[in-house]
A and B are shown apart, each in its own frame.
Chain A
């Protein structure tokens, strides 16, 4: 609940087009947020399979929207489910919802599968719940959300852009922020640089990533809607890179080739026909 209170405080501060980042100590790894989230863990042995875990929401199933074709549901057992996508890869949208007469709460996320599959354009365009946070666009195969990068998200209600809505950001690294959607329902979210200095020390293929969640609330016809979208982001790669060293090596290469540009007496070579 304390996160919601923090959000409420930040929402009060939020001005149109202005975002605030605040840093707090990293929360407990097992419970960094009370908001509804779906965590997807890749299966290293079978790249078409992922383990899903729902938290912060009391739901019986997760609905999976493939990039093309009909959605299907996975029953949850103890908040967990296993997703196997078969031959069709690319992004799959994951959604869980809990509904009462007063409130509809939704958790959503996406999972990328390496097998070829249709582009997720139609999947993103399709309304999947009343209140939605839609990435515009999703990172491509070799990309991911990273600190110091700005990505757009669309807030949609009943399939229409929702202007002047407050989108709350929270990360496991302890950052909080609030953003206001513009007239077209868009929010530009700048991921905070909230990593420790040694975060970019890569351990094998396990690039450092931390989860984040976006949350938006809306009230209509006496009913409250709360939707969350969670994913992961990595540190700013420039944190462990040196542009000066790179430029220096480029210049060194150029200097090494300079002798080729010296004008010298050319030997007459070849004959004309």
Chain B
């Protein structure tokens, strides 16, 4: 039993549990308790989902920039503790969450991340080709998540609060977030899928979200984690990754940069994990899924560490076992059935 427990299987179990919590969790934690969990651990799923157990940190962040900071500045013409405290509270609880988990939120908790992984597995079952993002387009896509973070999550809600941009931009990111559509559809709620027709701006923002989700779901059949590459939450997490207790640690090895199995295993196609070591190997795109450590064929080269404690270290023995069930690029090995030889007739 223990022999069949891999980090990948453990992560899948955690992802499925968190998917349930973040999409339908109020059925378990209680209708009202879901709000309290959101207040304590605000980095979970979508506030537009009526059945979730908690919601995403970007919701209170945008809301507070819009209504507390922006409108507060207009009303009071000064920054008071009363305006800043709720914002600080959100940031501090967010930090507390990420100091413990760091970017593992993306690789272990995020419902949209889990959905993309499940769709990718479906693609393998259907025998569809595997696409990888080459280093050049991956590098070009990288700044996009920072641009989305600065404009849609931070600037537009603040400007809406100041009265400089339309009210619809008060939660601009939520309006284009494909996770909002995906998680609400999972609860059989089509309200968020339907586009607002009240204003061209709202229609355009909603259409963007739907197109993004449609693209993400089909692309994920062939390409791993297509949306994660531009997700502003990954950028937001990356801001704090240096202070997180859970982190990826890699030491230099002679074969690094040559075999590239770790890069092949990485769902974000990160080149640096095979070429670099030390802090340079733990890049802004890493989601701490741990696949590079699982698929590194050398003992102790890549590790997932919590503070000084190594939670998982690469090892050749583990690698050999892991590739038996799944190739580094995510292709699943066919299950082999062995016919038990008939016992000799002793009669």
- The interface of chain A, by Cβ under 8 A from chain B, is 44-45, 90, 116, 119-121, 137, 140-143, 200-202, 204-205, 237-238, 240-243, 245-247, 249-258, 260-264, 266, 269-273
Contact = CB atoms under 8 A, between A and B. Distances in A.
A116 B32 contact: no
B239 interface: no
A262 B216 CA distance: 16
A157 to B, nearest CB: 25
Contacts of B213: 250, 253
A273 B261 contact: yes
Given A137-B32, A241-B196, A270 B214 contact: no
A23 to B, nearest CB: 24
A263 B226 CA distance: 18
B222 interface: yes
B30 interface: yes
Contacts of A204: 167
Contact of B196 (A240, A249, A255, A273): A240
B219 interface: yes
Interface of B: 30-36, 39, 47-48, 50, 67, 75, 128-129, 131-132, 167, 170, 181, 190-191, 193-198, 203, 206-207, 210-219, 221-223, 226, 255, 258-261, 263-264, 297
A109 B39 CA distance: 25
Nearest to B123: A261
A65 to B, nearest CB: 15
Contact of B32 (A121, A201, A260): A121
B35 A272 contact: no
Contacts of B212: 253
A56 B32 CA distance: 32
A120 B259 contact: no
10 contacts: A121-B32, A142-B48, A237-B191, A246-B206, A252-B210, A254-B217, A257-B214, A260-B131, A260-B223, A270-B261
B191 A271 contact: no
Given A116-B39, A254-B214, A272-B259, A243 B131 contact: no
Contacts of A237: 191
Given A142-B47, A200-B198, A253 B33 contact: no
